[in-house]
Structure formats: C-alpha cells, structure tokens
Amino acid sequence: MQRFRLFTELGSSDAESPAREQTAVHEALTAGDAEGTADRLRQHIENTKARALKDRQAVLSG
C-alpha cells in the first residue's frame, strides 16, 4: 500500500495486478490449498519486488 501511495504521482497505475494476486492468495488459502497458497504468495512477492524496482528506476531516471 505504501508503494502505491509513493508512486501514484508517477502515473503508475498497476494497482489492479496486485489486487488480483492478493485475491488469488486469499482464494487458495480459504480453499485449504496450502501449496497453492504458498505458490501464489511467492509469485505475488516476486511481482511486488519487480514492480518496486521498476518504479524505483523510473524515479531515478526521472
């Protein structure tokens, strides 16, 4: 959430992707799918890192 606030001024509008990822994590969790939850959470964390690095580069280039 903090990253979203920080980079809103840059015109970054990727809020839908993390929301979909979090929904997928929640669905797997509530379905009792431990392995699926772990996979989806791992992917969400990797994607979050990639988005943060991309936004950081945009700020530095900026």
Hey, CA dihedral for 6, 48, 24, 17, is it positive or negative?
Answer: positive
Residue type at 41 in one-letter notation: L
* pLDDT at residue 21 greater than cutoff 70: yes
Query: pTM of the entire structure?
Result: 0.74
- The first and second tokens of residue 46, run together, are 């990797």
State yes or no: pLDDT of 25 exceeds 60.
Answer: yes
User: Across all residues in the chain, what is the average pLDDT?
Assistant: 84
Which whole-number Å values give the CA distances from 15 to 33, 34, 41, 59, in the listed order? Answer: 25, 25, 16, 18
Residue 34 pLDDT grade (very low, low, confident, very high; cuts 50, 70, 90)? very high
- Return the higher-pLDDT residue of 32 and 56: 32
pLDDT of residue 28: 98
Mean pLDDT of 8-16: 63
- Amino acid identity of residue 8, one-letter, is T
What does the DSSP assignment read for 17-58? HHHHHHHHHHHHHHTT-HHHHHHHHHHHHHHHHHHHHHHHHH
